[in-house]
Chains A and B, each alone.
Chain A
């Protein structure tokens, strides 16, 4: 499952980028959130501080206004007159009257004279204890006794009052002090709340005396906060919740005589909270939108960036299919562009290497074809050699016995018949020899030869045919060719065969035939090339042209052995011969021969040369042992030698031969190379062990092609091998030659 799961390049880019984006945005949002929170809290704090300033200021102004107001009351002549009277009852009436004249918040009035003695008092509510009020306001009264109005905040009966004491001065003498108790009540609190825009809580003796906060459940908490803060110099604003609402609150104290009156300002940050949340929401929305937008943008960009990649992919696919014509557009000069350029270069290289590969494939195929050809030819060679070998023995018999018959003196008519027999046999022998030379592996005669000269001599030989068949020969011979070790006769034969083929192939050309012969040195090979403009070779014939008996010539005009012979010869020389042709475009034969250095010349293996039959026979009565498994050959040799006066013993196999040779002395041993059981080589070796002098004159005969080892052996032992089919004369002369040496 997971193995199949793979991400596209786009996803690989987008996912991390978006993840990073989200991560950064989250961080930013978090930071901004923190900032916003701080800001809002800071704002609320600031608001609170401002509120406190406003609160204190308003309170002071209120006090001042009250003082002014009550000063004017005290300065009224009427009141002064009453004050002068020092009559409690009159004063009480007066005070009551004043109390009703003055606003609702004035709850008590007392008039004190010297030594803080209360002369008269008036109160709005019956449950207000005037004595208590008097006691509470004694500080303000004492202040006012100095001649200056004073105010103090006091607690009477759990309620807060501002006690304003005003000196009543008549005729530059203090006649008494008028003290008014102005209730700090809900009205005042509401006014202050309006001014400060904060909830206000007054505390007296650790009790909530007055509060604009309606929820009494929160009072204990508020008292706790007040108690916590009021003692500190560095007041900390802290949060508190009253009911559903959240507040930040700040505690403070009034500068009062008793020092037990304080206040708490509660700034609701419900709005701030709401605004904060709105801001956060907005921020989140913007962030989300930003993320979406960025992702989209990145996606588009990635699409744009990966477009060359996709094109490259398509092109690569096309190239993979083998379409090398595809090119990627190099649109930009960045990595993609470079990649495209490199890809194009790669395609180019691929194209060339593809063609190279194709060429290599072609050459491989050719080589393979050649190999097959070679194999085929060598198989055929073996087969042909087998046949030839099989034919050789009977042919030797036919030729030998025919000659013998001729020698035995017969009528002319029979002579004529015999001549025919011999002629036919000769023809057979030639065919078999050609076949053998196609398949034969004997080492040709080697001597340094100039290829160009050899070519020229071949052309000279064929000069007559060339001119009559109107074939124009163009030579392009390289002059710096080294001399090559070869058998000049055989190689000339090869050239002759090829050129005569060319003559035939170009006979029907209207413009006259053309043959271009070129030689050149290729590393350690000399290449000889024959190019003509003849009829060419059809593709189906091309693999078969080196086959023996394969011919395209009309019946009777060719044996089909010319090129087979050439092939055998060239291969013997360690070279190669190939033919290329397009039908109707002429053919090209290429011969490559190894340019072997002259110093490497090996010892010649002298080919047996047919000699003139020596009439002078060596001393007769020589004993000759003939070993062959072929009865007819034994018979023939015995006949042929017996007629010359030799004494011939024959052996059909190796054991009997060794026995004979061990027991008798022979001047010469003729031994077939191939004998079932012990072969010729083995017989020779065993005989050498038994009787070394017996192998001094030892002639091998064979109807087969000699192997490399056999040749090597023969060279080492300096022994001659006579190839079947041989004529009786040939055999005799060889024998005689050996015996005379």
Chain B
């Protein structure tokens, strides 16, 4: 929060004259509709959901919302701070980290057991080896895309570094709310992402000073019939 505030402050200072708006919104996942029991045909489920993973959609977190315009606003990059993903209690925190391309991420081990950090994803394959807390290792992500990071010892440990090409993105908070500030006015495609759900793209128009809101409901309800 501190940082955010600081960043915002910076933004206000440096781009006070900029025509920029804010996008607010909420992303949530929705499970498939409750099946009503039909008197005549029993409990019929649409074939649409036949191969859908049955998970609790309401508890899904770690959504990322970003404007899907590759070259947008790179001229006034603002986010080149060091990002950190810590290893604590056998987990990576945060689980999803959206970063602007070229960002360096630090991987401190806060457990007193060995961990290993590696990725074999195409944008950034790396292996930091097995190390303990004393050492801090860094990786710079210089290609856009999704980088899945694992621990070779603990199979359950994994996190995702989402390398994005413009700074207009945000990870949702616990409630699924997000805010994207300083967005240049214009009409964009805005995309909601989740590691396990199909993404959703919406068009949004950002006014110069106004606040645009957009609501995403991810899930399987919107799937086309086949």
Please give the residue numbers on chain A whose beta carbons come within 8 Å of chain B beta carbons, in ascending order.
77-78, 81-82, 85, 87, 89-90, 92-94, 97
Kindly supply a per-residue 1/0 record for chain B positions 60-85, scoring 1 wherever the CB is within 8 Å of any chain A CB and 0 otherwise.
00000000000000000000000000
Question: Contact at A78–B114, with CB atoms within 8 Å?
Answer: no
Question: Contact at A81–B154, with CB atoms within 8 Å?
Answer: no
Contacts of B113 in A (CB 8 A): 87, 89-90, 92-93
In the complex the two chains form, what is the Cα distance from A323 to B220 in whole Å? 124
Question: Contact at A85–B130, with CB atoms within 8 Å?
Answer: yes
Question: Contact at B152–A93, with CB atoms within 8 Å?
Answer: no
Contacts of A90 in B (CB 8 A): 113-114, 153
Kindly supply a per-residue 1/0 record for chain B positions 27-62, scoring 1 wherever the CB is within 8 Å of any chain A CB and 0 otherwise.
000000000000000000000000000000000000
In the complex the two chains form, what is the Cα distance from A77 to B155 in whole Å? 12
In the complex the two chains form, what is the Cα distance from A94 to B114 in whole Å? 10
Contact of A82 among B112, B114, B132, B156 (CB under 8 A): B114
16 A–B contacts, CB within 8 A, in A order = A78-B155, A81-B116, A81-B152, A82-B114, A87-B113, A87-B114, A87-B132, A89-B112, A89-B113, A90-B113, A90-B114, A92-B113, A93-B154, A97-B154, A97-B155, A97-B156
Q: Chain B nearest CB: distance from A465 CB in Å?
A: 155
Contacts of A94 in B (CB 8 A): 153-154
Question: Contact at B155–A81, with CB atoms within 8 Å?
Answer: no
- Per CB-CB distance, the 3 closest pairs between chain A and chain B, nearest first, are A90-B113, A90-B114, A89-B113
Question: Contact at B155–A93, with CB atoms within 8 Å?
Answer: no
B184 at the interface (CB under 8 A from A): no
User: Size of chain B's interface in residues, with CB distance under 8 A?
Assistant: 12
Q: Chain B nearest CB: distance from A113 CB in Å?
A: 16
Question: Contact at A81–B112, with CB atoms within 8 Å?
Answer: no
Question: Contact at A81–B90, with CB atoms within 8 Å?
Answer: no
In the complex the two chains form, what is the Cα distance from A90 to B116 in whole Å? 11
Contacts of A78 in B (CB 8 A): 152-153, 155
Query: Helix, strand, loop or mixed for chain A's interface?
Result: helix
Contacts of B154 in A (CB 8 A): 93-94, 97
Contacts of B116 in A (CB 8 A): 81
Contacts of A87 in B (CB 8 A): 113-114, 132
Contacts of A81 in B (CB 8 A): 116, 130, 152-153
Give the contacts of B103-144 with A (CB-CB under 8 A). 112-114, 116, 130, 132
In the complex the two chains form, what is the Cα distance from A141 to B32 in whole Å? 54
Q: Which residue of A lies closest to B132 (CB)?
A: A87
Question: Contact at A93–B90, with CB atoms within 8 Å?
Answer: yes
Q: Chain A nearest CB: distance from B26 CB in Å?
A: 37
In the complex the two chains form, what is the Cα distance from A720 to B130 in whole Å? 192
Q: Which residue of B lies closest to A96 (CB)?
A: B90
In the complex the two chains form, what is the Cα distance from A94 to B112 in whole Å? 13
In the complex the two chains form, what is the Cα distance from A89 to B115 in whole Å? 11
Q: Which residue of A lies closest to B151 (CB)?
A: A78
In the complex the two chains form, what is the Cα distance from A97 to B153 in whole Å? 10
Contacts of B90 in A (CB 8 A): 93
In the complex the two chains form, what is the Cα distance from A178 to B112 in whole Å? 22
Q: Chain B nearest CB: distance from A120 CB in Å?
A: 10
Q: Chain A nearest CB: distance from B188 CB in Å?
A: 44
Contacts of B130 in A (CB 8 A): 81, 85
Q: Chain A nearest CB: distance from B128 CB in Å?
A: 14
In the complex the two chains form, what is the Cα distance from A346 to B90 in whole Å? 126
Q: Chain B nearest CB: distance from A84 CB in Å?
A: 8
Q: What 16 new A-B contacts, CB under 8 Å, besides A81-B152, A87-B114?
A: A77-B152, A81-B116, A81-B130, A82-B153, A85-B114, A85-B130, A87-B113, A87-B132, A90-B114, A92-B113, A93-B90, A93-B113, A93-B154, A94-B153, A94-B154, A97-B156
Q: Chain B nearest CB: distance from A501 CB in Å?
A: 146
Q: Chain A nearest CB: distance from B112 CB in Å?
A: 6
In the complex the two chains form, what is the Cα distance from A87 to B156 in whole Å? 19
Q: Chain A nearest CB: distance from B127 CB in Å?
A: 12
In the complex the two chains form, what is the Cα distance from A81 to B130 in whole Å? 9
Q: Chain A nearest CB: distance from B131 CB in Å?
A: 10
Q: Chain B nearest CB: distance from A497 CB in Å?
A: 151
Contacts of A82 in B (CB 8 A): 114, 153
In the complex the two chains form, what is the Cα distance from A82 to B130 in whole Å? 9
In the complex the two chains form, what is the Cα distance from A94 to B157 in whole Å? 12
Contacts of A85 in B (CB 8 A): 114, 130
Contacts of B156 in A (CB 8 A): 97
Contacts of B153 in A (CB 8 A): 78, 81-82, 90, 94
Contacts of A89 in B (CB 8 A): 112-113
In the complex the two chains form, what is the Cα distance from A85 to B153 in whole Å? 11
Q: Which residue of B lies closest to A93 (CB)?
A: B113
Contacts of B132 in A (CB 8 A): 87
Q: Which residue of A lies closest to B116 (CB)?
A: A81
In the complex the two chains form, what is the Cα distance from A566 to B171 in whole Å? 184
Q: Chain A nearest CB: distance from B73 CB in Å?
A: 43
Q: Which residue of B lies closest to A89 (CB)?
A: B113
In the complex the two chains form, what is the Cα distance from A89 to B90 in whole Å? 12
Q: Chain B nearest CB: distance from A94 CB in Å?
A: 7
Give the contacts of B147-173 with A (CB-CB under 8 A). 152-156
In the complex the two chains form, what is the Cα distance from A660 to B72 in whole Å? 226
Q: Chain A nearest CB: distance from B139 CB in Å?
A: 20
